């Protein structure tokens, strides 16, 4: 199974709508940029029937370098988590 990419999404939008490739590209790019901005602010992004993206803080913790076995400190960081909507979960049989 091939990965469905941003280009694939744009091509599908062009096929299913009357938008030109340029208009579809701009619409998808703007939507992705809005989602990124909201996640950077710490606001969750919810697409009804699809799922929810949420930025979450991970605290610093101790870890181990798997190549050398040396103990290291893994710095704190923010990660993005995704939760499926119940509608999509049932369609996927997950």
Based on the domain organization, do 1 and 25 belong to the same domain? yes
Based on the domain organization, do 38 and 49 belong to the same domain? no
CA angle 3, 23, 32 (to 5 degrees): 50
Residue pLDDT, tens place only, 4-51? 999 999 999 999 999 999 999 999 999 999 999 999 999 999 999 999
Q: What is the CATH number of the domain that holds 79?
A: 4.10.520.10
Based on the domain organization, do 50 and 91 belong to the same domain? yes
Based on the domain organization, do 29 and 54 belong to the same domain? no
Q: How confident is the model at residue 1 (pLDDT cuts 50, 70, 90)?
A: confident
Query: Sign of dihedral through CA atoms 10, 15, 21, 27?
Result: negative
Find the domain containing 19 and state its range.
1-42
Rama region for 93: left / alpha / beta (φ>0; ψ in -120 to 50; rest): left
- pLDDT of 94 strictly over 70: no
Domain count, the chain: 2
Based on the domain organization, do 38 and 58 belong to the same domain? no
């Amino acid at each position: 199974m091939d990965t469905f990419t941003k280009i694939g999404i744009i091509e599908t939008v062009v096929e299913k709508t009357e938008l030109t490739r340029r208009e579809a590209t701009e619409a998808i790019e703007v939507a992705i940029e809005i989602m990124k901005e909201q996640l950077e602010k710490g606001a969750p992004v919810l697409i009804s029937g699809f799922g929810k993206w949420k930025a979450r803080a991970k605290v610093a913790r101790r870890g181990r370098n798997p190549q050398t076995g040396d103990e290291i400190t893994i710095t704190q960081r923010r990660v993005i988590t995704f939760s499926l909507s119940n509608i999509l979960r049932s369609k996927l049989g997950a």
